[in-house]
Amino acid sequence: MSEIKMYADNLPNIPWQDRPEHSEGPVWRYSENPIIGRNPLKGVARIFNSAVVPYEGKFIGIFRAETTNGVPHLYLGRSEDGIHWTYDSERIPFVNEKGEPFLPRYAYDPRLIKVEDTYYIIWCTDFYGAALGLAKTSDFKTFVRLDNPFLPFNRNGVLFPRKINGNFALLSRPSDSGHTPFGDIFLSESPDLVYWGKHKHVMARSGAQWWQALKIGGGAAPIETSEGWLLFYHGVTGTCNGYVYSMGAAILDINNPSIVKYRSDAFILTPEEWYEERGFVANVVFPCATLHDAKTGKIAIYYGAADSYVGLAFTTLDEIVAFIKEHHVEIGDDTSIGIM
Ligand code: BMA
């Protein structure tokens, strides 16, 4: 029996495949990847970087769908098994708090997180440049978009699945108006999702590990465990041939997630398969969600591959925590700013 506990629901129908023989590394891929291929529905060329949750014994997802005019929008999908999906034919009809249409000009990299009885969608939208959009739903029929809760520029936001010390908690990566400068993850708090503050620095990009030297960004909503918050994130390196996105993992302090307890020096997944190395943007693995089962410690990670496909990878709580601890490295910039 594991000594490490996952504080989450049981999910006996989690999509799952045991570790294949001869596989090494903390994470293994689903043998039938990619689970979502090209042209998945009319008017949509590619789905990737998407988020799923368990819902009423099945699964529901918010998908980043690149429409055939090249602009990304969010679509709702449903699945019995978390692997085969059907999608609504139209994009999500967001409304404002008065119930009037409030559609984003573009929308990408959604995360879908249940906090108490409400599901929150956070994504990158247009607000005089890239900024975070936030919406809520309790029935997946009405999607109420909050009134521009964040300033530009920020392309990467992840909510924690419960309030911490009474407040909602958000990981995000502020940046400038260009594509990449600034590359660290920060923590912000809010009592009501309207007013945000108490910002703290969490994790720095790191020149010592080249795979995450350029920028890092939160991935899936952190998983609460007896070791702390387990975070899957992405780390980016710049090569002569463009960016390469890998997957990393860290454990943050449970009561003050701006404190990094452990952080793996090594990536846990990097582009190696054809669907990760070849596509609209080559060499991208980009985690956006996990399904996880508290009883068995099984974790299924959903990740975008090459801005073209959705892949699924697996690990267990014991294996990933052991790996992170074994490869733990202290990165000076994680502790130097913001937590004094
Ligand atoms: C980032 C985001 C992601 C994308 C990645 C690689 O800036 O736009 O959606 O997967 O670039 O193109």
User: Does ligand 1 lie within 6 Å of residue 307's CB atom?
Assistant: yes
pLDDT at position 84: 98
Domains of the chain: 28-327 (2.115.10.20)
Q: What is the 3-state secondary structure (H, E, C) of 119-158?
A: EEEEEEEECCCEEEEEEEECCCCCCEECCCCCCCCEEEEE
- Under the banding of pLDDT at 50, 70 and 90, the label for residue 181 is confident
User: Is residue 66 within 6 Å of ligand 1 at its C-beta?
Assistant: no
Query: What is the Å distance from ligand 1's center to 98 Cα?
Result: 32
Task: Give strand ranges (E) for 56-191.
Answer: 58-67, 72-79, 86-87, 107-115, 118-126, 130-137, 144-145, 154-159, 168-174, 185-190
**211 close to ligand 1 (CB < 6 Angstrom):** no
Angle at 324 between CA 321 and CA 325, to 5 degrees: 85
> Among 281, 285, 310, which is best to mutate for testing ligand 1, by the most ligand atoms less than 8 A from CB?
281
196 ligand 1 Cβ < 6 A: no
Atom of ligand 1 nearest to the CA of 64: 9
Q: How far is the CA of 177 from the centre of ligand 1 (A)?
A: 15
State the distance from the centre of ligand 1 to the C-alpha of 126, rounded, in angstroms.
Answer: 15
- Name the least confident of 94-108, 200-214, 241-255, 297-311: 200-214
Residues facing 130 on adjacent strands: 126
Decide: 310 in ligand 1 pocket, CB within 6 A: no
Instruction: Decide: 294 in ligand 1 pocket, CB within 6 A.
Output: no
Confidence check: pLDDT of 332 > 90: no
Whole-number Å distance, alpha carbon 7 to ligand 1 midpoint, is 31
Inter-residue long-range contacts of 173-181, CB under 8 Å, 24+ positions, other chains counted = 173/215, 173/216, 173/217, 173/218, 175/130, 175/215, 177/129, 177/152, 177/153, 180/214, 180/215, 180/236
| Residue 286, ligand 1, Cβ within 6 A | yes
Percent of residues, the chain, with pLDDT higher than 90: 92
**Which ligand 1 atom minimizes the distance to the CA of 281?**
12
* pLDDT at position 230: 99
| Residues 49-102 pLDDT 10s | 999 999 999 999 999 999 999 999 999 999 999 999 999 999 999 999 999 999
pTM exceeds 0.85 for this model: yes
Would you list the DSSP string of 215-278? EEEE-SPPEEETTEEEEEEEEEEEETTEEEEEEEEEEE-SS-TTSEEEEBSS-SB-S-SHHHHS
Place 199 in a pLDDT band, splitting at 50, 70 and 90: very high
- Summarize pLDDT for 5-27 with one digit per residue, the tens: 999 999 999 999 999 999 999 99
Round the average pLDDT of the chain to a whole number and report it.
96
Tell how far the Cα of 183 is from the centroid of ligand 1, in angstroms: 13
Torsion of CA 192, 195, 201, 202, to 10 degrees: 20
Q: In what order do the strands lie in the sheet with 185-190?
A: 154-159, 168-174, 185-190, 197-203
- Report pLDDT for 336: 54
Beta carbon of 284 within 6 Å of any ligand 1 atom: yes
Q: What is the mean pLDDT of residues 116-140?
A: 97
Q: Binning pLDDT at 50, 70 and 90, where does residue 264 land?
A: very high
Residues 319-328 have a mean pLDDT of 98
